[in-house]
Chain A
């Protein structure tokens, strides 16, 4: 089955830029989507189709995928951004959803 690899943790000071990566074989062939999950809450979609943002998501959140890995970038990080972040693709060859292992973002 397809595997997505994320770093377990990323730390950043307030006001700085956080970058969370998501790697996988031939990831250029997949649309990559990103979710934010704060402690005790349901996940929230923050980026879809590599780089599009749902309405209501701040412009500080952006996605890119030039080659590998895919990257979620959060600029001007705030304390409220502290959360777990997951990347996800749809494996059409197996008709299954796939999540990365998640990255815990800590705001110092």
Chain B
């Protein structure tokens, strides 16, 4: 059974940094691209970033380019999202999601990031 466990969220001040993690099990992690998707309170889903199975290809939403960095450690079956210079509009639940071609077939439970002074 595929399991994804998101962690690392919390309350941070504007301008600070945060690293989110997603631990994966139940599938061959290095074979699949992985994503981060976020959801601001009361809002819809927003795709954030993708990284290929080997880690050599990354893509980002225009809204996060330059501040967010996606990475993975296939030896630890773990996906990461480094968020720098956090802003109030980054407040959201962040989900990791496993890709199967062009859709997201498994999701973590989400981790809440709150940016507030």
A residues with a Cβ closer than 8 A to B are 1, 31, 33, 35, 37, 42-45, 48-49, 54, 84, 86, 88-90, 95-102
Contacts and interface: CB of A to CB of B under 8 A. Distances in A.
Nearest to A33: B103
Given A33-B102, A42-B107, A90-B102, A97 B62 contact: no
A99 B47 CA distance: 7
What's the dominant secondary structure at chain A's contact region?
strand
Interface residues of B, number: 23
Given A42-B110, A97-B47, A48 B105 contact: yes
B108 A45 contact: no
What's the dominant secondary structure at chain B's contact region?
strand
B27 interface: no
A91 to B, nearest CB: 10
Given A42-B110, A86-B45, A101-B44, A96 B102 contact: no
A97 B100 contact: no
B50 interface: yes
Nearest to B4: A42
Interface in B61-112: 61-62, 95, 100-110
